[in-house]
Amino acid sequence: MFSRRGLGRRGLGNRGLGNTGLGNTGLGNTGLGNRSPGGGRFSSGGLGRGALGPRASLPQRGPARVLRAVVYTALLIAMQGLLSRLADSAGIAAPDLFLLTAVALAWRMVPAWALVAAYGVGLGQDLLGGGVLGLHAAGLAGAVLLVLLIRRYVADSGPVQIVLSVIVALVGEWLTFAALAYWLRSDLITVRVLLTTLPSLLLGTLLAYPLWEWAVRWGIGPRPGPQEQLA
């Protein structure tokens, strides 16, 4: 029953709890030994990049995250107001930081919540600007809808993806504006507005994207890596 072949070298010895069972392979080098505190699936902070990817480095829920969101919102309003004043004095369109915020949310949230968040950002822009209530809300929702397609089908995460995201977001926003203007029988969108506003708006927003991305990473969190898929 209990011989050298039963519990000895083959039982709980080298192969049981030793080199194969809970030793070098089980809880040692491969199981929960070196990979546990080091950096495989579990890191010193709990879950590392191997478990949840870049989402694990998002700000945790709590006062710090709320404070960052509040500071980011205040910075967004202040910077957009400053850029608008400077652009008006120069006779050009200001970069749309609210649009860039909606694009950032589209890359960091699941599609349904990204649309809701973009609508909320646009609604705040309408309330602050004193324009037609719901105009920018619908526009940013349309922008995010197209950005989600870029997120789904464009794998590149470099400058090409950035340029495509901004261009597609701007197209989606202004197509929504045009649809609403047609529905309301309004002259809000005209050929003159398109020719004088869109080029400078696109150029300014593209130039502002790299700089504003720093504020977005601090206030909202880093963007998920390419291995993260849409839910």
160 burial type by CB count under 10 A (0-12 exposed, 13-18 middle, 19+ buried): exposed
The answer to whether the beta carbons of residues 175 and 142 sit under 8 Å apart is yes
Alpha-carbon distances of 67 from 61, 72, 143, 168, 182, rounded to whole Å: 11, 8, 27, 31, 41
Average pLDDT over residues 206-211: 92
Lowest mean pLDDT among 54-58, 125-129, 219-223, 225-229: 54-58
Average pLDDT over residues 162-167: 91
Average pLDDT over residues 53-61: 46
pLDDT band (50, 70, 90) for residue 223: confident
Work out the angle between the directed axes of helices 111-129 and 135-153 (0-180°, nearest 10). Answer: 150
Q: What does pLDDT average to over the chain?
A: 77
Instruction: Give which of 115, 117, 104 is closest to 223, Cα–Cα.
Output: 104
Determine the 3-state secondary structure of 21 from DSSP. Answer: coil
pLDDT for the residue numbered 229: 45
pLDDT in tens, 99-149: 999 999 999 999 999 999 999 999 999 999 877 889 999 999 999 999 999
Phi-psi map region of 156: left, alpha, beta (phi>0 left; psi -120 to 50 alpha): beta
Angle at 120 between CA 155 and CA 167, to 5 degrees: 35
CA distance 55 to 57: 5
Radius of gyration, CA atoms only, the chain: 26
pLDDT for the residue numbered 225: 62
pLDDT in tens, 5-32: 444 444 434 444 344 443 443 333 433 3
pLDDT for the residue numbered 89: 93
Asked whether the predicted pLDDT for residue 202 surpasses 90, the reply is yes
pLDDT for the residue numbered 61: 63
Alpha-carbon distances of 199 from 3, 196, 211, rounded to whole Å: 86, 7, 20
Asked whether the predicted pLDDT for residue 230 surpasses 90, the reply is no
pLDDT in tens, 172-193: 999 999 999 999 888 888 888 8
The answer to whether the beta carbons of residues 196 and 91 sit under 8 Å apart is no
pLDDT in tens, 71-85: 999 999 999 999 999
